[in-house]
Amino acid sequence: MTLLAICFAVCSFAQKNKAFPELSGVTVDGQTVTLPASTKGKYTLVGIAFSKKAEEDLTSWMNPMLNTFRPGNKKANVLIPEYDVNMYFVPMFTGLNKAAAATAMKKTKESLDKRLHQHVVFYKGDMDNYKDPLQLKDKEIPYFFVLDPDGNIVLTLKGKYTDEKMESIEEILE
C-alpha cells in the first residue's frame, strides 16, 4: 500500500512547476486554441491522448469533468464549491495518424455532446515537443495536467477516470 502511495505521488508531480509546452489546435466548434497562452489567468485542466486506446480512456473523463467543472454550473448546495477553470481534451494526431484528423473531427462533431465541442481540441503535428517534456511514455493511456493560472503544471495524472483522481484535482483547485 505504501509503495502504491509513493508511485502515485511520483507520477502526480513528475513535471510539477514546469511550464506546459505550447500546443495549438482547433476545437470541434472551429476555434483555434493555444495552450497555455489562451488560458492564462485561470486554472486549466488538459487531457491528452495520442492513440485510439488512450482516446477511449480519455472519454471516461469527459462527463465527470464537464459535470464538475463546467463554467456556470451552479451547484444547488452552497457547501459544494463552484469552479472557474478552463478544460480541454486533446486527441493528438501525429505521424501517419495526421491524415485521420479531419475524419475524426467530423465524426466527433456529429456524435459528441455539443456541450463538449468547445472543450475538445484536435492537435495535428509532431510529438517531439511534448513526449519528453510531459513524460508521455505510454501511448496507450491518457495523461492529465492541471495548470496553474500562469500555465505551469501543478499536477499530473494518467489513465482512466477514478473518483480518487478527481478528488486530487479538486484539492488543487480549492
Taking a C-beta distance cutoff of 8 angstroms, is the pair 85, 173 a contact? Answer: yes
pLDDT of residue 4: 39
Alpha-helix runs per DSSP H in the chain: 2-12, 52-69, 101-111, 128-131, 163-173
- Cell for 47? 487531457
Q: What are phi and psi of 150, to 5 degrees?
A: -95, 0
Name the residue among 144, 45, 60, 139 with its Cα closest to residue 97: 139
pLDDT of residue 39: 92
On the CB side of 81, how many CA atoms lie within 13 Å of its CA? 11
Domain boundaries, the chain: 2-173
Residue where the block lists cell 493555444: 34
pLDDT of residue 10: 42
pLDDT of residue 11: 46
pTM for this structure?
Answer: 0.84
Taking residues 68-95, what's their average pLDDT?
A: 75
Condensed to tens digits (0 to 9), the pLDDT of residues 46-67 reads 999 988 899 999 999 998 998 8
Higher-pLDDT residue of 141 and 1 is 141
Type of residue numbered 84:
D
Taking residues 149-160, what's their average pLDDT?
A: 96
Largest CA distance in the chain: 49
pLDDT of residue 71: 61
Interior angle at CA 70, CA 57 and CA 14, nearest 5: 50
CATH 3.40.50.720 fits 2-173, yes or no: no
pLDDT of residue 79: 52
Residue 66 DSSP label = H
Q: What are phi and psi of 31, to 5 degrees?
A: -90, 140
pLDDT band at residue 68, thresholds of 50, 70 and 90? confident
